[in-house]
């Protein structure tokens, strides 16, 4: 009896062999299925492989190689897509920048009528000229500069100017002005003279106004500080006028060529200036007032007292503006 129970609890050696054979057969079948899947995936004929030899290893190497190639191709596709998106963004940004430059070129406010009668004689106003120093603001004759006045000392300056001659000198600060901004930092010796127009006084004492350029001033000295703002003694500099009519005509032709490439509303001011202004210096001033974007360039034009050299500077400014609008693509994506 006990031997029968032991036989039930402990399988015989032959039973263990049969179970091992069944397990080996199951492993072989699974390996065979893996082999067939590899053959089907690799596109190889379904033949019996040497499962313990080099065939299976070669199949696995081939599969790994295909996986790596697929990953590299996927990575290259992603990188190419990213490059195309980056190029598209850059092209869109360049188009927007060209459009903004084009809008700025022709939409600056100009007052050609201020230059029609020639330089204004300011006389006694320059004996005590109130100046408004700024880091990058340059006022050329014929230009219109909007200003927001909020500092108490300059609010007092605007109030005093409105009660007298309505004139201000807009001066560009010399480099290194930052540590002494609230004091009396150095300014450039040539500044623009502007007449206050369209002023608006706010409830808290601030001002919004427009300053119309009417000429240049050469600062001779700064007067003692008896006011919270700065006052200088200045004079109108003499200009070297020896300019041939061909220089002004060349500038006028370049200006009209630019107007032909600008939108009609943007080109109207420039076209009117080119036709109305006969004085070569005034023509150069109005071109740079409308087209010169960088403050150092505008200051250089303001400080140039030789009319021929100023015409040359203005021609360079108009030429640069022509280059900016020359390559603007049309609706078909081709340059004009």
DSSP character string of 161-222 = HHTTT-EEEEEEBPTT-GGGTTS---B-SEEEEEEEEEEEE-TTS-EEEEEEEEEEEEEEEE
Are 224 and 293 found together in one domain? no
Are 179 and 251 found together in one domain? no
- Per the prediction, the chain carries an average pLDDT of 78
- Of the residues 180, 207, 235, the one at which a domain ends: 235
Are 229 and 279 found together in one domain? no
Closest by CA to 51, choosing from 67, 78, 22, 30, is 30
Tell me: pLDDT of 20 over 50: yes
Are 216 and 259 found together in one domain? no
- Spatial separation of the C-alpha atoms in residues 262 and 270, rounded to whole Å: 10
Structural domain for 268, as ranges = 241-326
Helix (H, G, I), strand (E, B) or coil at 213: strand
Q: What is the pLDDT of residues 273-310, one digit of tens each?
A: 788 888 888 889 988 988 888 899 999 999 999 999 99
- Spatial separation of the C-alpha atoms in residues 212 and 197, rounded to whole Å: 7
- Spatial separation of the C-alpha atoms in residues 215 and 302, rounded to whole Å: 9
Are 153 and 251 found together in one domain? no
Q: In the chain, pLDDT over 90 holds for what percent of residues?
A: 29
The answer to whether 133 and 173 have CB atoms below 8 angstroms apart is yes
Are 129 and 167 found together in one domain? yes
pLDDT at 113: 54
pLDDT at 323: 85
Structural domains in the chain (count): 3
Tell me: pLDDT of 73 over 50: yes
pLDDT at 160: 94
Beta pairing partners, 129: 232
- Spatial separation of the C-alpha atoms in residues 42 and 55, rounded to whole Å: 13
**Could you tell me if residue 87 is inside a domain?**
no
Are 222 and 246 found together in one domain? no
Task: Pick 291 or 330 by higher pLDDT.
Answer: 291
**Could you tell me if residue 133 is inside a domain?**
yes
- Spatial separation of the C-alpha atoms in residues 61 and 84, rounded to whole Å: 34
Helix (H, G, I), strand (E, B) or coil at 205: coil
pLDDT at 335: 44
Are 255 and 180 found together in one domain? no
- Of the residues 176, 201, 235, the one at which a domain ends: 235
**Could you tell me if residue 96 is inside a domain?**
no
Lowest mean pLDDT among 87-91, 152-156, 233-237, 306-310: 87-91
Closest by CA to 244, choosing from 318, 313, 315, 311, is 311
Q: What is the pLDDT of residues 206-232, one digit of tens each?
A: 999 999 999 999 999 999 988 999 999
- Spatial separation of the C-alpha atoms in residues 153 and 70, rounded to whole Å: 71
Local confidence band at 107 (pLDDT 50, 70, 90 cut-offs): very low
Local confidence band at 336 (pLDDT 50, 70, 90 cut-offs): very low
The answer to whether 239 and 305 have CB atoms below 8 angstroms apart is yes
**Could you tell me if residue 72 is inside a domain?**
no
pLDDT at 18: 57
Are 207 and 248 found together in one domain? no
- Of the residues 196, 215, 235, the one at which a domain ends: 235
Report the length, in residues, of the chain.
336
Tell me: pLDDT of 315 over 90: yes
Q: Quick one: angle between helices 264-276 and 280-291, nearest 10?
A: 160
Q: Which of 19-33, 54-68, 83-97, 153-167 has the highest mean pLDDT?
A: 153-167
Rounded to whole angstroms, the maximal C-alpha distance in the chain is 140
């Amino acid at each position: 009896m006990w031997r029968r129970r032991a036989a039930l609890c402990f399988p015989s050696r032959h039973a263990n062999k049969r179970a091992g054979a069944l397990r080996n057969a199951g492993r072989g079948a699974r390996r065979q299925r893996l082999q067939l899947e590899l053959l089907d995936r690799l596109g190889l004929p379904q033949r019996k492989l040497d499962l313990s030899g080099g065939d299976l290893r070669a199949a696995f190497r081939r599969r790994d190689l295909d996986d790596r190639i697929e990953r590299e191709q996927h990575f290259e596709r992603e990188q190419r897509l990213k490059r195309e998106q980056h190029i598209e963004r850059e092209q869109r940004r360049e188009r927007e920048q060209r459009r903004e430059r084009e809008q700025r070129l022709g939409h600056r406010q100009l007052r050609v009528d201020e230059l029609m009668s020639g330089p204004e004689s300011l006389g006694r106003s320059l004996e005590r000229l109130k100046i408004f120093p700024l880091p990058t603001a340059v006022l050329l004759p014929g230009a219109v500069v909007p200003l927001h006045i909020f500092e108490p000392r300059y609010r007092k300056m605007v109030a005093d100017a409105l009660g007298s001659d309505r004139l201000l000198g807009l001066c560009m600060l010399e480099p290194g002005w930052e540590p002494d901004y609230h004091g009396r930092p150095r300014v450039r010796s040539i500044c623009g003279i502007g007449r206050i127009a369209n002023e608006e006084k706010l409830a808290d004492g601030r001002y919004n106004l427009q300053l119309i350029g009417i000429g240049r001033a050469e600062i001779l000295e700064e007067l003692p500080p008896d006011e919270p703002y700065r006052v200088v003694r200045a004079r109108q500099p003499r200009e070297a006028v020896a300019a041939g009519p061909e220089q002004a005509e060349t500038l006028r032709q370049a200006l009209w060529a630019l107007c032909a490439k600008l939108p009609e509303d943007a080109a109207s001011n420039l076209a009117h200036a080119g036709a109305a202004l006969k004085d070569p210096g005034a023509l150069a001033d109005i071109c740079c007032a409308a087209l010169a974007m960088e403050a150092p360039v505008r200051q250089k034009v303001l400080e140039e007292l030789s009319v021929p050299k100023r015409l040359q500077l203005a021609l360079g400014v108009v030429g640069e503006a022509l280059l900016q609008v020359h390559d603007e693509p049309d609706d078909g994506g081709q340059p004009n």
